[in-house]
Homo-oligomer: A and B are copies of this chain.
Amino acid sequence: MQVFPYEALKAFTTSVFLAMNCSEADARKGADVLLAADLRGIDSHGVARLSSYVRLWDNGRINTQPKIRVVHETPSTAVIDGDSGLGLVVAPVAMACAIKKAEQVGTGWVAVKNSNHYGIAGYHAMQALDHDMIGMSMTNASPLVAPTFSRERMLGTNPIAVAFPAGEEPPFVADFATTTAAYGKLEILQRQEADVPPGWVQDPEGNPSTDCHAVTKGGGLLPLGSDREHGSHKGYCLGAMVDIFSAVLSGANYGPWVPPYVAFLEKKQDLVGAGIGHFFGALRVDAFRPADEFKSHMDAWIRRFREAEPVAADNKVLVPGDPERECERIRLTEGIPLLDPVVKDLSLLAEKFTLSF
């Protein structure tokens, strides 16, 4: 494990994107989105993934000079074609479009096709906050999740993020995979060769498993709820909703056809759409009630939940966004710790592109 200053990692990431022929603006934006994951402690979605973006670019699946364009719109909606661009770059354009529409008619909803992995869902939802808007963001992803009763993997970890602005309190920011555990959590246990808790994965035959390699062997991640008795059909519903909003509505690939991001899966040949899909929403708070009124009630909501009587006195009830914000505060000053395999990955990228790291 080594610790790196935030700015140094961001500069390096920018230089990698520049070496991939991104424009200056896109390289900076992509690095900002990617590093937001490292800052917020979602290590699986940060620079640890940089080499995967490069791999997809090497394979011709990422266009670093995309013409991102609106292909359909109404006053409150749009569909954007990402032109195979980095999702890290396509998503901010789409979220900005949603925000602009919300300014005009109260809310804005943008579905995106022909995109790639977009980093952490929460980053995009949070763009709404400074505008006194509620932000939403979701995306489909590599088919690694087995719906309830399914042996086959049909959905991605399909995250949902929602950000609500508050007044004196920090904002409420929820950002979570619709599976029991995100794939990144599994990768952490793989590095330690540790068992995974029951209820996270199933083996290739669909039996419960605690093998941290179950998914790479053909098994599936389980929807939030783990099994039918504990509501896995609800997690399946959530993942399916994200898939349909992101891809059936936009014209991207859905379900098992989503072009995989992980190296151990092959891309399907009989695609049903273009690239992967995202869905974004922005709701102007004052399209419902005066923003100050809403924000002071959000403060009351947040304070009441923080003060909820805890089961254990030393383990207080959290408000969504608390752990990530605390991590960001620490890592901005103390730096970002990277595991040795990640450091090695970045060194190889430096070598490949003749950059200093």
**Chain A contact residues, CB within 8 Å of chain B:** 72, 74-77, 79, 105-107, 109, 111, 134, 147-152, 154, 162, 164, 172, 174, 176-181, 197, 199-200, 202, 205-207, 224-226, 229-231, 233-238, 240-241, 243-244, 248-251, 254-256, 272-273, 283-285, 287-289, 293-294, 297-298, 300-301, 304-305, 308-312, 315-318, 320
Instruction: Check if A300 sits within 8 Å of B272, measured CB to CB.
Output: yes
Instruction: Check if B111 sits within 8 Å of A109, measured CB to CB.
Output: no
- Say how far A165's CB is from chain B's closest CB, in angstroms: 11
With both beta carbons as reference points, the residue of chain B lying nearest to A202 in the complex is identified as B311
- Say how far A253's CB is from chain B's closest CB, in angstroms: 10
Interface centre among A255, A285, A297 (most CB of B within 10 A): A297
A310 to B317, CA, bound (A): 39
Given contacts A176-B231, A248-B301, A273-B297, 7 further A-B contacts (CB under 8 A): A72-B288, A74-B284, A149-B311, A149-B312, A180-B231, A199-B229, A255-B304
A224 to B230, CA, bound (A): 7
A256 to B309, CA, bound (A): 12
Instruction: Check if B74 sits within 8 Å of A106, measured CB to CB.
Output: yes
A172 to B284, CA, bound (A): 29
Instruction: Check if B76 sits within 8 Å of A244, measured CB to CB.
Output: no
Instruction: Check if B151 sits within 8 Å of A305, measured CB to CB.
Output: no
Instruction: Check if A147 sits within 8 Å of B77, measured CB to CB.
Output: no
Also in contact, A317 and B147, with CB within 8 A (given A249-B294, A285-B249, A288-B72): yes
Copies of this chain, count: 2
Instruction: Check if B230 sits within 8 Å of A197, measured CB to CB.
Output: yes
Residue pairs across A and B with Cβ atoms less than 8 A apart, 21 shown, are A72-B287, A74-B106, A74-B287, A77-B107, A77-B284, A147-B308, A147-B317, A149-B310, A151-B308, A154-B317, A162-B241, A164-B248, A172-B244, A174-B238, A176-B233, A176-B237, A180-B231, A224-B231, A233-B318, A236-B320, A240-B320
A319 to B3, CA, bound (A): 47
- Say how far A245's CB is from chain B's closest CB, in angstroms: 8
Also in contact, A149 and B317, with CB within 8 A (given A77-B287, A162-B241): yes
- Which residues of B lie under 8 Å from residue A244 when comparing CB positions? 164, 172, 298, 301
Instruction: Check if B206 sits within 8 Å of A311, measured CB to CB.
Output: yes
5 smallest A-B Cβ distances: which pairs? A206-B311, A74-B106, A174-B237, A77-B106, A77-B287
A205 to B313, CA, bound (A): 12
Instruction: Check if A304 sits within 8 Å of B256, measured CB to CB.
Output: yes
Instruction: Check if B151 sits within 8 Å of A240, measured CB to CB.
Output: no
Instruction: Check if B288 sits within 8 Å of A77, measured CB to CB.
Output: yes
Of the candidates B154, B180, B305, B318, the one whose C-beta lies within 8 Å of that of A154 is B305
- Say how far A40's CB is from chain B's closest CB, in angstroms: 15
A70 to B320, CA, bound (A): 31
Instruction: Check if A181 sits within 8 Å of B231, measured CB to CB.
Output: yes
- Say how far A49's CB is from chain B's closest CB, in angstroms: 22
